[in-house]
Structure 1
Amino acid sequence: MPLLRPRTSVSTEKFPLTFAPLKAQSYSDSTSLSRGSGSHHSLRSIAWNPLGTLVATGAADKTLRVWNPEKNNVRNSTELKGHSAGIEKIAFNPVKDAELCSVSNDGVVKLWDVRTKACVNEVKGLGNAHTLAWAPDGSSLLVGNRGGGLFEIAPTQFSVVSTHQQPVETNQMAFCWSGQKIFLPTKEGRIRILSYPGLEPILHLGHDAEPGGSTEFMLKGHTASCLTAELSPTGRYLATGGADSIISLFDTKDWICQRTVTRLVGPVRSISFTFDGSYVVGGCEEGSGLEVTHTETGKHVFTFKTAGPCETVAWAPTRYCLAYSDLGILRIIGMDAEKK
């Protein structure tokens, strides 16, 4: 087991001084290189394992690969083969360092043991699946498809535990840290707060929104489709990203939108917080550069320069180390990048 470095936070004043001198490491195989600069959408998802010792990538060309962040040569990576269509979302089990889940347009969810490369379980028939979130205790996961279907899955069962059809298309969701609530972004730009596993609305208005209408309380933070949600490690803020190029930060005590991040370009496809919750970054379909924002003040802190759009981003769970897609290639930049 690699020696884990101590978790240290960096102040807003020191952040630019710390990161400006660093250079990103590239992690690519020959097929990634051959795809060229026009393929910035090829990497669809990036995921760190709980200890931050492995990072996985899922791509539109069906490639699922697990990398050692300390060694960027493709010979030190592991390819997991089995999906028949593009991979939309991947995530490690929060409590099992070697269990990875992947969802694909082929309607199949696969669970992998990355140590043996074995697919240890799969659930089929989920339609055009594109979202995935693990319950914090790792005992179950929720998968969504583009038709509004939500499927509860147990890692050891070969069939769906329960199915819930949503009235509107939903996007990348997030659990609260107790596992009792799920935050569900919708195509309408609102975010539903549902119980888990029942998936019933938790909060209600004191009156009907309109005669005969629903009393369900939903978060409103976007003027276009809400594409993703991410809860900060401290649990204080829920960040949501929309097709309106905005990240909204909601205080989880009163559910008021405290601030918005408006420097982004293009639809926000992914959001990631640093391990201490101090900083947030969004991955967008357009532009070049990753904008780092201080969570508590909304202050812009730093811009990571990139070659093109970076629609998927992921801070490491144990240190200031950022993984992101850039022109179809995984890149990692951080305080450990120069210590190889």
Structure 2
Amino acid sequence: MAPVLRSRQSLSKEKFSGYFGPLKSQVYNDAPSSRGGSHHTLRSIAWNPLGTLVATGAADKTLRVWNPEKPNVRFSTELKGHAAGIEKVAFNPVKDAELASVSNDGVVKFWDVRTKACVNEVKGLGNAHTLAWAPDGSSLLVGNRSGDLFQISPRESEIMSTHQEPVEANQMAFCWSGQKVFLPTREGKVRILSYPTLESLLHLPYAVKPGESTEFVLKGHTASCLTTELSPTGRYLATGGADSIISLFDTKDWICQRTITRMVGPVKNISFTFDGSFVVAGCEEGSGLDVTHTETGEHVHTFKTAGPCETVAWAPTRYCLAYSDLGTLRIIGLEGGDRK
């Protein structure tokens, strides 16, 4: 039997597989068959800051908040109001009960999950598909498929500012100070922008050919860069692409330290463990979730799944992984959970 870990107790790469090997995932089923089967595809999973709640957003407009300790659907909360599929959900980094959701109906909604109330909404965002909270929880960035970036506030119903990007931006990430935004693009590059001005922050230290940009960008993919994630320690920025690759950039010198190539499909999202020691990716093809040791690039464990897992999320305080599998939420690593 694997030992029970305390909150924020770390595992070595040698013990990772031994710990997770005996564990069985817990299923959180809200009867997707009655909702149209494949249309219930989970597009986004998010933990709240304390790891006591998990939110899921689905293609069939279902937005639900789960108590990880109570998998029966009657203990969950469904939040209703979006007119189209949910693209991204994220809790306020400094407020456990405030959730933001974005749908391609062009609306971002803010919810108090304790009361199920929509406390604010911002409309007119086009075919929006991505959002990221500033680390202090005071504002968000929302991106749409037309290349627009919107700065919005959870307390205001009007858009604070709009920025037009030259190409469509994908899932962005903030640095932990909130002063930089990492913006992946369909060109396979990642732009580093200041916040809130959204101006190019770094430039090349040498002359370029006439007409070429002097902006310094991260280049780690041969196809569209779909997602970025900063490790909790701030040591690495991970980028995932349609080329099935994860690139890990050292944030001190912005050199790509290693690439992870075990995925068999486009990398849709990336998640680090709370200590930054391990990383896993959600892909739209293949089966199984491969966990990699961040510092060495070694494969340490594979979670078996029934099908592709497009979205994954490690808990913020413990080794507990939430992931989608055939339209259903599963969580593995809960203390006292089922064992094989």
Q: What TM-score do you get using the length of structure 1 for normalisation?
A: 0.96
Partner of 1:139: 138
Secondary structure class of the residue paired with 1:121: strand
1:34-59 per-residue CA deviation (whole Å, 9 max, x = no partner) reads: 644xx287100000000000000000
Q: Helix, strand or coil for the counterpart of 1:179?
A: coil
Cα distance in 2 for residues equivalent to 1:40 and 1:258: 38
User: Does 2:22 match 1:14?
Assistant: no
Give 2:181's aligned residue.
Answer: 182
Pairwise mapping of residues 139-288 of structure 1 onto structure 2 (< 5 A)? 139-288=138-287
CA-atom RMSD, angstroms? 1.5
Aligned partner of residue 69 in structure 1, secondary structure:
coil
How many residues align? The count is 335
Among the aligned pairs, what percent are the same residue?
80
In 1, Cα distance between equivalents of 2:203 and 2:327: 43
In 1: Cα distance, 2:194 partner to 2:40 partner: 33
* Contact 1:35–1:328 (CA under 8 A) maintained in structure 2: no
Matched, 1:317 2:306: no
How far did 1:91 drift? 0.1
Gaps of at least 5 residues in structure 1 are: none
Secondary structure at 2:121 match in 1: strand
Matches of residues 294-309 of structure 1 in structure 2 within 5 Å? 294-309=293-308
CA 1:101–1:146: 2 relative to 1, 3 Å: same
Q: What secondary structure is seen at the aligned counterpart in 1 of 2:13?
A: coil
AA aligned opposite 1:111 = F
Deviation at 1:207, TM superposition (A): 2.9
Q: 1:102 to 1:144 in 2, by over 3 A?
A: same
CA contact under 8 A between 2:90 and 2:132: conserved in structure 1? yes
Please name the residue that 2:47 is paired with: 48
Read off the aligned partner of 2:331 and give its amino acid letter: I
The worse-fitting range, judged by mean Cα deviation, of 23-32 and 4-13 is 4-13
Deviation per residue, 1:140-181 (Å, 9 max, x gap): 000000000000001100100000000011100000000000
Residues 83-116 of structure 1, C-alpha deviation per residue, up to 9 Å, x if partnerless? 0000000000000000000000100000000000
Which residue type is aligned with residue 134 of structure 2?
Answer: A
- Distance in 1 between the 2:52 and 2:6 partners? 11
Q: d(CA) in 2 for partners of 1:330 and 1:304? A: 14
Local SS of the residue matching 1:13: helix
Q: Which amino acid aligns with 1:12?
A: K
Query: Which one-letter code corresponds to 2:25 in the other structure?
Result: A
Cα drift, residue 209 of structure 1: 3.6
Q: How far 1:29 sits from its partner (Å)?
A: 1.1
SS at 2:329 equivalent: strand
The 2-side partners of 1:41 and 1:187 are apart by 26
How far apart in 2 are the matches of 1:32 and 1:292?
Answer: 30
- How far the C-alpha of 1:325 sits from its partner, in A, is 0.4
Task: Report the CA distance between 1:262 and its aligned residue.
Answer: 0.3
Q: Which amino acid letter does the alignment assign opposite residue 275 of structure 2?
A: D
Contact 2:35 2:60 in 1 (8 A): no
Q: Structure 2, unaligned stretches of length 5 or more? A: none
Shift of 1:336: 1.8
Partner of 1:122: 121
Contact 2:175 2:234 in 1 (8 A): yes
Which residue of structure 2 aligns with residue 23 of structure 1?
24
Residues 13 and 175 of structure 1: is their aligned pair in 2 closer, same or farther, counting only changes over 3 Å? same
- Does the CA contact (< 8 Å) of 1:25 and 1:337 recur in 2? no
Q: Which residue of 2 aligns with 1:90?
A: 89
CA contact (8 A) 1:227 1:269 kept: yes
2:268 aligned counterpart, secondary structure = strand
* SS of equivalent residue, structure 1 residue 338: coil
Residue deviations 1:310-336 (CA, integer Å, cap 9, x gap) = 010000001000000000000000152
Higher mean C-alpha displacement, 22-31 vs 97-106: 22-31
User: Does the 8 Å contact 2:40/2:60 carry over to 1?
Assistant: no
Q: Tell me the distance in 1 between the aligned counterparts of 2:156 and 2:104.
A: 21
Find the counterpart in structure 1 of residue 327 from structure 2. 328
SS at match of 1:130: strand
Residue 213 of structure 1 deviates from its aligned partner by 1.4
8 Å CA contact 2:228–2:239 kept in 1: the answer is yes
2:274 alignment partner, SS class: coil
Distance 1:33 1:20 in 2: 33
Change (3 A) 1:301 1:41: farther
